[in-house]
Structures are given as structure tokens and as C-alpha cells.
Amino acid sequence: MSGRVEIEYCTQCRWLPRAAWLAQELLTTFESELTELALKPGTGGVFVVRVGDEVVWDRREQGFPEPTAVKRAVRDRVAPGKPLGHSDKPSAD
């Protein structure tokens, strides 16, 4: 699977800080697995995370992502079996 991640965000909505923060989280977690992380400006309320050509998160369908959910989706594609530490433990609700 591709080690390239793309975060497409809405410039009209001023979601660059959110996209940049998520990019930092992913780069920190997968520093040896990712080959590239791109921030792609978009419009119309877009906030989509892709691994290679596969959409792993779309705000229109799933709402804004919790970082842990995106990390799991990315991990499942670039580093299956990699533990995510405390954020990977099931919640005790």
C-alpha cells in the first residue's frame, strides 16, 4: 500500500490549521511508514483524507475526524499491526 497521505481541506472554511494539525499527528505517528504527506487546498466544505488513491475519511459522510480514528484508518493501510499506544486501547465507556 502507498505511504502517501493526502489531506484535502476547504480554504473557504479556513480549515488549514485543522488539516495541518492532523498532518502533524500522522507524520509523528507514522514517521518511518509515510513517504509523503500532502495538504491539498479545496473548496466547498471538503475535508478528505486519502491513503494513496483510497479515501479513508470524508467529512461529508463521517463528520470531522477524531485523530485516533484517522490514525487507525491510516495504520490499517500503511502499517497493519502497528500499535498506536494509549490511543489504540478500546474506550471504557
Eight-state DSSP code of residue 66: P
Higher pLDDT, 87 or 91: 87
Averaged confidence pLDDT in the chain: 90
Question: Which residue shows C-alpha cell 475526524?
Answer: 65
CB-based contacts of 78: which residues, under 8 Å, 6+ apart? 1, 2, 3, 5, 30, 33, 34, 51
- Taking CA atoms, 60 is separated from 9, 64, 89, in Å, by 12, 8, 27
Identify the pLDDT of residue 85. 75
pLDDT tens digits, residue range 16-71?
A: 999 999 999 999 999 999 999 999 999 999 999 999 999 999 999 999 988 899 99
